Structures are given as structure tokens and as C-alpha cells.
């Protein structure tokens, strides 16, 4: 990695660390937040909520839960209601125009999406909050041309004081949408499996001062460095039917990923640390094998456990652009219409 890229990355990491430590127990107490049962009315609707939940974060969580449950024509309005008028929405895995800005652009985007998958629905699972930053994990379901599909997603947002989203990024695997429609669509991680006995040592916690080294490992396509630091942590990731528990299996997965891409340029995004887990966001561009142009791309790593639910190391990203170019993806969307 060049010195210029690393210098820029160091600044980005510093900005992330500043942002992710704006709220803690002392600040929560001073502002009168409930430190043990914040947003109590939302908790029965999701698997867990971790971190210091401010009133603004609680307002967002309740709006998000409502959108996931609404099935009437009010769905577009319920979605737009979550966003501030000048908000931005970044869509990973696009070769052009990955950033939407403003209420009208976001309204058009959700209207188009719901037009393609009108019965789309989701329920919140693990939610992590740190000040204005929220990682909202969800279990999504939809019927796509008669095929029932379900998939995990992470909605990463930054909030205004009134709980409106000012910056949003969405992470999920569209490969699950289109594989039933096109059986010839390559399965990038087919055949990746564990080998040998599981490594039972546990080192799932990442400290803030490790972020620069981890960013360097992603951009240097260094599977060994990424796996070595999390030895013993089971890996859940797109394209897997279960978890990988051996070093051999996890290395095979990441090496398959890096064999399919080049020119990886991922910057640190938002970091959210709560009791039991750390969420790391990486976003930027990469060049899929056999394609001419880089695509926007992002990964959410969750390291550790939240809500008493196991899964020490989880990756969330969209594998579709790794195996399909923009023309192919356009053709796949045409099948939905």
C-alpha cells in the first residue's frame, strides 16, 4: 500500500475514532437517559439492543421497526419519514451513481424497490448504538418471482438530534435475490468448507488502535492477517450455509474473495463498539475479475457477540457485483419487471 493511501487512511481512522466515542455512560447519565432499558418499548420487537440508546436513536429504531412491518401503500411514506430532507444514501456495489442525495431521490429509490419486491418485509435482530451512530441488523424476507428468499442485512446510519437519518448505508447480498431466477449465476464461495479440527482458542475482541492495521490488511488483500487476528472466532459470511470454524476454512473463504478482485481501496467508515461486540465498516471501491471498471463496495464486520447470541465474526456484503457486471445486473433486474 502506498504511503499516500496509508496517510489518508490514518486520517480516516482518526475521524472514525473521534466520532464513535462521543457518547458513553457519563454523558448518558448527565442527559438523563435510561442506561439499563433505553427504548424499552422497542426491545420486544427485536433480538437485542446494545449500547447507550439516546432518545434520537430510540426514535429511529421505532420508525425502522414500523417500516419493516407496514404492508400498505403507506410504506413509501413510512420509509421517507425516517430521513432528513438533505440526507445521503450510499449504495455499495454500483459502478455508477452510488450516492443518492435528498428526500426526493430517496423516495424514488424506495418506490422502485418496493415496486420490484412488493411484499418485502423485515424484522430487526441485533441493534448496536453509539451516540448518533446505529448499526441496525435485520432479517429480510421477500417473494421474488414466486421464490421465497430471506437474507441478512445491516443498515448503518448516522442520526440528527431528532432521530432522522442524515447519512445511510445499506449492506446485504443481492445474490440471494437472483440465484433462484438464474441458476447459472456463479456461486463464488461454492466448495469452501472447514478442514481439520476447529480452533477453539478465542481472540474475538478488536481494540481501537488495531483499526489501521486491519484496514491495511483489507487493502493489501492479506487473508492471513485478517484471519490470524481472529483465530478461534467462527466466521459467518455471504455464500455460506453455516459457519467456518477452522483457520483453513476461513483462509479459503477470504482467499476466494481476494482472487476475484483487485485494486481494493476500502476506507474505514463507522465504528460502533458496544458491550460484547465491535462493528467495523469498510467502504470504497474494488475491481472485480474480468470487469473493466471499479464498483463501489463495502463490508460490515461484526466481531464479538451481542444480546447473548453467538457469532464471533460476521461479514456482511453484496457478492453479486463480484460475479456479474453492470450489464448482467441490469438484465437480472429486468427479469423482476
Residue carrying C-alpha cell 457478492: 319
The answer to whether the beta carbons of residues 306 and 50 sit under 8 Å apart is yes
What are the counts of helices (DSSP H) followed by strands (DSSP E) for the chain? 11, 12
For 150, the 3-state DSSP assignment is: strand
Query: What is the dihedral sign for C-alpha 53, 316, 177, 264?
Result: positive
Q: What is the pTM of this model?
A: 0.89
Taking only Cα atoms into account, the Rg of the chain, rounded to an integer number of angstroms, comes to 19
Contacts 24+ apart (CB under 8 A), 96-103: 96/326, 98/296
pLDDT confidence of residue 21: 38
Q: How far apart are the first and last CA of the chain?
A: 43
The x, y and z cell numbers of residue 200, run together, are: 477453539
Nine cell digits for residue 208: 481501537
Q: Averaged in consecutive runs of 10 residues, what is the pLDDT profile of the chain (337 residues)?
A: 46 41 43 59 95 95 95 88 96 74 94 91 95 96 94 97 96 96 96 87 76 94 94 93 93 98 96 90 95 94 77 92 94 90
| Residues 142 and 117: beta-carbon distance below 8 Å | yes
pLDDT at 209: 81
> 271, 16 in Cβ contact below 8 A?
yes
pLDDT of residue 94: 67
**Residue whose C-alpha is closest to residue 239's, from 306, 190, 185:** 190
Q: At residue 40, what are phi and psi to the nearest 5 degrees?
A: -55, -35
Nearest-10 Cα torsion for 67, 297, 189, 150: 10
pLDDT, residue 3, reads 44
CA angle (201 as vertex; 200, 203 as ends), nearest 5: 130
Amino acid at each position: 500500500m502506498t504511503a499516500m493511501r496509508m496517510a489518508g487512511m490514518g486520517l480516516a481512522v482518526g475521524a472514525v475514532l473521534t466520532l464513535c466515542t462521543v457518547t458513553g455512560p457519563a454523558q448518558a447519565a448527565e442527559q438523563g437517559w435510561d442506561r439499563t432499558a433505553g427504548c424499552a418499548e422497542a426491545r420486544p420487537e427485536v433480538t437485542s439492543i446494545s449500547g447507550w440508546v439516546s432518545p434520537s436513536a430510540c426514535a429511529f429504531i421505532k420508525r425502522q421497526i414500523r417500516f419493516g412491518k407496514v404492508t400498505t401503500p403507506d410504506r413509501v411514506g413510512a420509509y421517507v419519514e425516517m430521513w432528513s430532507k438533505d440526507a445521503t444514501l450510499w449504495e455499495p456495489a454500483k459502478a455508477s451513481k452510488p450516492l443518492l442525495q435528498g428526500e426526493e431521490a430517496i423516495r424514488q429509490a424506495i418506490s422502485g424497490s418496493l415496486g420490484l419486491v412488493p411484499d418485502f418485509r423485515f424484522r430487526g435482530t441485533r441493534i448496536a448504538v453509539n451516540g448518533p451512530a446505529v448499526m441496525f441488523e435485520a432479517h429480510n424476507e421477500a417473494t421474488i418471482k414466486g421464490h421465497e428468499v430471506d437474507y441478512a442485512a445491516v443498515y448503518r446510519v448516522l442520526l440528527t438530534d431528532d432521530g432522522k437519518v442524515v447519512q445511510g448505508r445499506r449492506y446485504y447480498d443481492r445474490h440471494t435475490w437472483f440465484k433462484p431466477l438464474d441458476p447459472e449465476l456463479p456461486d463464488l464461495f461454492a466448495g469452501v468448507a472447514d478442514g481439520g479440527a476447529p480452533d477453539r482458542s478465542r481472540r474475538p475482541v478488536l481494540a481501537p488502535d488495531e483499526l489501521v492495521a486491519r484496514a491495511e490488511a483489507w487493502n493489501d488483500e492479506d487473508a492471513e492477517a485478517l484471519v490470524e487476528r481472529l483465530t478461534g472466532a467462527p466466521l459467518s459470511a455471504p455464500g455460506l450455509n453455516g459457519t467456518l470454524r477452522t483457520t483453513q476454512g476461513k483462509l479459503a473463504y477470504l482467499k476466494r474473495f481476494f482472487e476475484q478482485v483487485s485494486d481494493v481501496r476500502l476506507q474505514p467508515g463507522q465504528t460502533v463498539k458496544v458491550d460484547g461486540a465491535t462493528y467495523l465498516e469498510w467502504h470504497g471501491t474494488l475491481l472485480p475479475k474480468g470487469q473493466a471498471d471499479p464498483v463501489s463496495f463495502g463490508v460490515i464486520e461484526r466481531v464479538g457477540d451481542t444480546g447473548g447470541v453467538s457469532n464471533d465474526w460476521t461479514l456482511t456484503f453484496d457478492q453479486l457485483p463480484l460475479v456479474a457486471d453492470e450489464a448482467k445486473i441490469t438484465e437480472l433486474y429486468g427479469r423482476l419487471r
